[in-house]
């Protein structure tokens, strides 16, 4: 009897320590790994990787050593499990859980996920399916489709609730000028709808007394001067913060512009035939679109946040994978005649970001 009671008390203390009382900082990270399939050799949206690339991703995750990590552009549970150790539990957004394969296998789409160390106990799962708004393209005849939803975790840290949400907002609306572009205003309209959903969710969570950390790929340069989306966040919460503020992850990445142009001219002669010229894509354009958007009080006023410097580790594996097209499938030329031409960067064209929660 005494042994049973003692065992019960010890178990209760263990649960309390793992879920409610923390002496160490919580390391939070986020990474858009870029079209990651469930296993090597299988392409996801045209991007196939070998085992060495999967191992490279595992090595970077191990270096960052997060307790919680938001993941973007995952194909399925298999893709996340392929790069995370068994120390982590993985949670996916509702849209993936409800697809034809119930998120167990890739279906040619990308999804948002979040993972946490099992040693943290059992946090509360958070789903924000409202972020998966319907996107209507400017191209006539294309069916509307849902974009990415949000998925998160709620922790009780020393009696205070903290919710961490992993997100991936609509691409192609990185700055104010895109909002009036004929080719991008449809993307911007979708992103703005997602922002409104996100702001409403943050407001409700803050009213409930929670600290909110939204982690992920916002596809928006929020720390640029006078950014319209950043202004929306600031209007909702004047104390909201966008971290990290220093962006040096691609500073040492080699300029492959000439190689990309040469490869594109050889692979896509239709660009020159249309009177255009390849404009090399660089991952440096993604250097300021991944963030922690933080709404909270106290020690979070100056979080220790950084961007992993992946420039020396990354390499271009395919110099010409595709180019920007019109609705008719022809080269989509900018006013100066350039046509944005894409290349493939390993292990990702995004750098991980991380922060410490006291």
- Both tokens of 296, joined, read 């909270």
58 Cβ contact list (under 8 Å, min separation 6)? 83, 84, 85
- In the chain, the domains with their CATH numbers are 24-247+283-316+351-357 (3.60.10.10)
Predicted TM-score (pTM) of the model is: 0.92
Report yes or no: 39 and 77 within 8 Å, Cβ to Cβ: no
pLDDT for res 325: 94
Helix extents (H) in the chain: 2-19, 51-64, 77-83, 94-97, 185-207, 228-236, 257-267, 269-273
Q: Is the dihedral of CA 6, 11, 13, 14 positive or negative?
A: positive
Which regions in the chain score pLDDT beneath 70?
A: 1-23, 298-303
C-alpha 203/C-alpha 237 separation (Å) is: 9
pLDDT for res 297: 75
pLDDT for res 285: 87
pLDDT for res 16: 36
CA–CA distances in Å: residue 146 to residues 33, 99, 109, 133, 136: 21, 12, 11, 5, 9
Helix 185-207 × helix 228-236 angle, to 10°:
20
pLDDT for res 8: 41
Partners of residue 124 on adjacent β-strands: 154
What are the backbone dihedrals phi and psi of residue 32, each rounded to the nearest 5 degrees, phi first? Answer: -85, 100
């Amino acid at each position: 009897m005494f042994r049973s009671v003692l065992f019960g008390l010890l178990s209760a203390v263990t649960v309390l320590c793992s879920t409610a009382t923390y002496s160490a900082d919580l390391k939070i990270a986020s990474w858009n790994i870029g079209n990651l399939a469930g296993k090597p050799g299988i392409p996801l949206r045209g991007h196939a990787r070998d085992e060495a690339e999967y191992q490279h991703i595992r090595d970077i995750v191990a270096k960052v050593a997060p307790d919680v990590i938001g993941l973007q552009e995952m194909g399925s549970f298999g893709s996340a499990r392929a790069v995370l150790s068994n120390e982590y539990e993985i949670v996916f957004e509702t849209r993936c859980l409800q697809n034809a394969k119930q998120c167990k296998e890739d279906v040619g789409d990308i999804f948002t996920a979040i993972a946490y160390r099992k040693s943290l106990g059992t946090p509360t799962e958070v789903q924000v399916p409202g972020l998966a708004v319907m996107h209507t393209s400017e191209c006539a005849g294309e069916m509307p489709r849902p974009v990415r939803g949000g998925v998160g975790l709620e922790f009780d840290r020393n009696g205070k609730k903290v919710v961490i949400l992993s997100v991936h907002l609509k691409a192609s609306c990185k700055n104010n000028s895109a909002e009036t572009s004929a080719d991008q205003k449809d993307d911007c309209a979708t992103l703005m709808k997602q922002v409104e959903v996100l702001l409403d969710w943050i407001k409700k969570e803050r009213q409930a007394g929670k600290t909110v950390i939204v982690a992920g790929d916002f596809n928006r340069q929020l720390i640029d001067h006078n950014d319209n989306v950043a202004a929306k966040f600031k209007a909702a919460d004047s104390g909201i913060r966008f971290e990290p503020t220093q962006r040096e992850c691609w500073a040492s990445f080699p300029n492959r512009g000439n190689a990309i142009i040469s490869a594109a001219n050889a692979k896509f002669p239709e660009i020159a035939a249309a009177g255009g010229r390849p404009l090399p894509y660089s991952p440096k354009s993604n250097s300021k679109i991944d963030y922690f958007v933080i709404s909270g009080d106290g020690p979070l006023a100056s979080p220790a946040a950084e961007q992993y410097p992946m420039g020396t580790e990354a390499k271009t594996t395919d110099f010409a994978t595709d180019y920007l097209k019109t609705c008719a499938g022809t080269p989509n030329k900018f006013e100066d005649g350039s046509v944005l031409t894409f290349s493939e960067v390993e292990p990702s064209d995004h750098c991980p970001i991380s922060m410490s929660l006291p």
